[in-house]
Structures are given as structure tokens and as C-alpha cells.
Amino acid sequence: MAPTSTPQTPFGRVLTAMVTPFTADGALDLDGAQRLAAHLVDAGNDGLVINGTTGESPTTSNAEKAELVRAVVEAVGDRAHVVAGVGTNDTRHSIELARDAERVGATGLLTVTPYYNKPPQEGLLRHFTAIADSTELPVMLYDIPGRSGVPINTETIVRLAHHPRIVANKDAKGDLGRASWAIARSGLAWYSGDDMLNLPLLSVGACGFVSVVSHVVTPELRAMLDAHSTGDVRKATEIHQKLLPVFTGMFRTQGVITTKAALTLQGRPAGPLRLPLVELSPDETAQLKIDLAAGGVQL
């Protein structure tokens, strides 16, 4: 069965930005990645984002990124979209990663705003266009100025939307007003990239989520999305409020750290982190357990 996809939801509606499991000695755990990917699709994800920030992409090599995408594609087959993170702050490097991802079977690309070098809007336009021109895969922009230092302005989003392969945006800007205008003017499929704002972004026109907390609450997120889609806003709000402790707890520190800790508590593949990320302290782990339990997560 092919994954859900329409022009309005080109990558489905619920996607997990998946962690990259490592072995005890810090090597890539491809078997663990396949088992985790299969579990997440079984739980209700339409797609998986591989090699994003949550996948510790700053610390994995080009070869590891390609191996990981190939392994996940093999594990989930045509049951889910496999969207490869290829964004860097070097356009040529991003193009290399995009072509590698296409070669090993990815069905889409996630392209984050170039970070640290703070390009102007014209630079962003040319960067994203060059990546979209380099393969035949559909592209999701990723707007997260808190990490990149530079927002994608609404005018730039509107211009990029004219490209036939730029079809979506992952919004972690945290500005519902700008999101409202950009959704209305660009026509792009809009995905929440900020779990606390999943429901508010649906209310202004988002079609789904690229989530971190979905590692542990995919069924609840899908139920919230389905309730909103059928007009049952009260039920959607109830689910959102039930999940508030999870949204808060999973981001008390860097999200990869807490996600791997949560998966480990559940007996799922995760493994250690690569420096400069570090494991939770015992006190932080105890707090995470409290937060997850308050949101109904079974450990």
C-alpha cells in the first residue's frame, strides 16, 4: 500500500523527525534504525524524516547518511514517505546529499535554512532553488530561525513556491501571523515543526506535523489531527491539552537528548548520543518520566 499523498498533503500528514540509533560504541545502528522506523510506521506515521537535526545530522558523515536512508527505505518500503534531510550551509554540499538521497531511494527532501553564515534572502532563494533543481524529488523547506539565525521571509517563500518541486514548508518560526499570510499566499503544504504549536497551526491552514514527540505519541497526534479535520475542535483541544506535559517535557533540554532517553525507557532502539550532545542526568531522567507519565505515555 502506497503512503498517503495528495497535492495538499504531499508527504502525508503525520511524520516523525526520527532519531538516528547508534550502537554502544557510537557506530551507526542500521538494524536498530530499521526496527525503529517500522515501529513508527506501524504506530501511524505517514512518513519519516531521516538525517534531520533530530537525527544528529551535524555529526554523521555523507556515507552514514546515505546508508541510513537506504536502510529505512528497505524497512518501510512503500508504506511511508522517507524524507531525507539534506540541508547544510553549503549549497554544493546540500546538492551532493540530495543526489545521494535520491540514489538510495528517498521519496522527498527536507532543506533547512543555511545556518551560521546568515545569507540574505536572495541567497536563500538561490540556495533552495539550486537544491530543488538538482534532483527529481519533491522538496520541503524548513524554516527555523532559532537555529539558523535567518528566517525565510514570506516574500521569499512565495517566490520559492513557484518552483514545481518545492511543495511544502516545515514551520518552526513560531509566528502564527506570518504563517497565516505565507500559507494563504504561497499555496504550499504547511507542516508544523513545533509540537507545542501543532494544533494552533492547523487552525490557520497547516495540513500536518513533522514531529519529535511522535516518537512516543503518534496515535494521539493522529487522533488530534483527525478530530480537527472532522470539525471536532473540542476533542482536538482536549487531546492537545492532555499532551502539554509531553510537549514541555520533551523539550526541557535539546530534543534529541530527551527523545533518545524516552525511547530507551521504552526499550526502543536509540543508543548513545554523539558529542557535543550528552545524556540526561539522573535528575533530568526522573523529571522526564514525570512529564511523560502526566501525558499518558507508557514506559
**Three-point CA angle 271, 54, 156, nearest 5°:** 170
| 14 marked as part of a ligand binding site | no
- The reported pLDDT for the residue numbered 1 is 44
**Please, which residues bridge with residue 109 across strands?**
84, 139
- The reported pLDDT for the residue numbered 176 is 97
**Do 273 and 279 meet the contact criterion of CB atoms below 8 Å apart?**
yes
**Three-point CA angle 245, 48, 95, nearest 5°:** 125
| 86 marked as part of a ligand binding site | no
C-alpha distances in angstroms, 181 versus 129, 172, 185? 22, 15, 6
And the C-alpha cell for 119? 545569507
- The reported pLDDT for the residue numbered 4 is 62
Residue by residue, DSSP assigns the chain as -PPP--SSSBTBSEEEE----B-TTS-B-HHHHHHHHHHHHHHT-SEEEESSGGGTGGGS-HHHHHHHHHHHHHHHGGGSEEEEE---S-HHHHHHHHHHHHHTT-SEEEEEPP-SS---HHHHHHHHHHHHHHSSS-EEEEE-HHHHS----HHHHHHHTTSTTEEEEEE-S--HHHHHHHHHHH--EEEE--GGGHHHHHHTT--EEEESTHHHHHHHHHHHHHHHHTT-HHHHHHHHHHTHHHHHHTTSS-HHHHHHHHHHHTT-S-----TT--PPPHHHHHHHHHHHHHTT---
Question: What is the C-alpha to C-alpha distance for residues 58 and 88, in angstroms, rounded to an integer?
Answer: 9
- The reported pLDDT for the residue numbered 6 is 66
The model's pTM:
0.96
Convert 55-106 into a string of H (helix), E (strand) and C (coil): HCHHHCCHHHHHHHHHHHHHHHHHHCEEEEECCCCCHHHHHHHHHHHHHCCC
pLDDT < 70: residue spans in the chain: 1-7
Of the candidates 182, 186, 83, 208, which has an alpha carbon nearest to the alpha carbon of residue 135? 83
83: left (phi over 0), alpha (psi -120 to 50) or beta: beta
**b/e for 276-295, b at 16 or more Cβ within 10 A?**
eeeebeeebbebbbebbeeb
- The reported pLDDT for the residue numbered 299 is 87
Annotated catalytic residue within 142, 173, 191, 260 = 142
Report residue 106: phi and psi, to 5°.
-60, 150
- Catalytic residue flag (residue 116): no
**Please, which residues bridge with residue 10 across strands?**
12
Annotated catalytic residue within 65, 170, 173, 260 = 170
